[in-house]
Structure 1
Amino acid sequence: MSARTALAFAAAAALLLSACDNIRPPRTGKQPSSDAAPAGAPATAAAPAVAAAPGEFSPPSEADIPEGPFGDMVRRGRDIFLDTPTHAGEFVGNDLSCGNCHLDAGRKADSAPLWGAWVRYPAFRGKNQRVNNFTERLQGCFTYSMDGTAPPAGHDVVVALEAYSFWMSQGAPVGATLPGAGYPKGERPDTPPDFARGEAVYAANCAICHGADGQGQQGDGRTVFPPLWGPKSFNWGAGMHQLDNAAAFIRANMPLGKGGTLSVQDAWDVALYMNGHERPQDPRFTGDVAETRTRFHDDPDSPYGTTVDGRLLGANPATR
């Protein structure tokens, strides 16, 4: 392993260890989003489980995965979750893994944990204006967050991820919106988010892990810290491109191990900076940016099809 690679992995390990001591910010009481989707944490490792606060659901420990065929499938789902390009590469088009958005191997509250999602499906989603089952929700992650191809229903990749989600959610009340599910949305800044302010926040808090160019860090061919924009990041259809989703995730979880330390304003500013850069095109692109925005991004929190820092976002999508 090169010195640079070793340093990157050491930085990742240090940050992951510090994440175990993270104190969550106070809850806002707002409903979380069920459509949140990817960026912000290492894809190659998971921090030990963080103890649940009173009243929160506490998922099982990895040590509780049973032996036998079911446990084997759960472990396969965990491996796919933590290093998706390696274990499900035929369906992944970028350098992200499920664990980039769903921290602590899908356990951590306020980072769209699996136990908060499994019990809420089937559910109606505004994204496609119909009721989705959990399989369809997973397929959407591959299409948008992974900028890839949805594995067919019944494929072993889907079955393994479903098994991992089911196992983690045992004991959680079905149909409930549990505290800590989704991302803790609701807080909005006093002034509209600003690209230049966000650039300063990014330089001070994010560039050390994700790079000054936002392209993350790799070691031995694996992603240590994920790219936040550009050709290897999530595409314009992913939920994380929405400023409210990104700001909520950032405020609760970033910098890694120091969630809650950025102000609401800082979180929104840096969310705009992150999503004020180009990324792969929305797979639903109609051939016209304005039409695509009208049909799929008619939301003030979506920067797609708007001009940020002199760029019409979506007009020149990033390509590999």
Structure 2
Amino acid sequence: MTQPSATTGQGRSRLGAVLVSPALILLAAVIGYPVVSALMTSFRADPTLQNGFFTTGGEFAGFSNYLHWLAQRCGDTSCPPGTLGDQFWTSVLVTLFFTVVTVSLEVVIGLLMAIVMNQAFAGRGFLRAVVLVPWAIPTAVTAKLWFFMFAYDGIVNRALGTHVLWTDGAWSARTAVIISDVWKTTPFVALLLLAGMSGIPGGLYEAARIDGASPFQCFVRITLPLVRPALLVAVVFRALDVLRIYDLPAILTHGGGGDGHATTTLSILTVRQIQQGYGGASAISTLTFVLIFGVALALVRAFRVNLVQSEQHGMS
């Protein structure tokens, strides 16, 4: 049997590069240009929009747009109330709060749902299909649905026997956003974890039961370690989504609640800033990108360390 030559391998590599190049060019045009344009705009004072694509005018402002968001504080008399310095840090805290709480709840609930759906029982296929319904509903529809449910005379207050203005108070508005987001996206997490559990050989559980392992020990020693790659994908995907969340709080609470900024995320603040200047909005977008990139890198490294340690522990 003849072995492929180096020339043949190089030819295949060139052919692969040629076939992939149209997709790379399209990605560069659709993704690369907006990113570079936003970065350049963030260093300009007051650019204006022209033809829907290009910004003109505006002098080079250096890092003034970034310093405006990062260094300006609006709690003293030198800064008028309602200016944007405090709003940025408030939006950062609100975004991180939503990310930690919603992702944690979705992972826990999604893991329980995946365990149930992974069992053999009558109607399992129907249950898996029904569980995916909230995830299939568009986010705008979900937000409007929960907006009516959280209304003063809505089903939530009637079911609980309360009279809460859910979208007006600071913590009640945040609670409404968290409940809505968890309801919609937990099925996505459950689906990913279920796919990871489906790949675990059943013989591992049978051998563990023969050795006297309890169901909890099987879950801790077998299920969790082997489902970690799927768990990494679910956590990273959902963390990136929540860090960029806009439509659900914007429709459900109009980005307000309490002092008017209780549910204002970084994406909502960016859209509001666009009405005042593209330079400041581009600076927020760049800072948001840096934050998302840092969180994603930290999560991937943390899970990678855990995976390597688990493999070494299993080989020892």
TM-score by length of 2: 0.22
Higher helix share: 2
TM-score by length of 1: 0.21
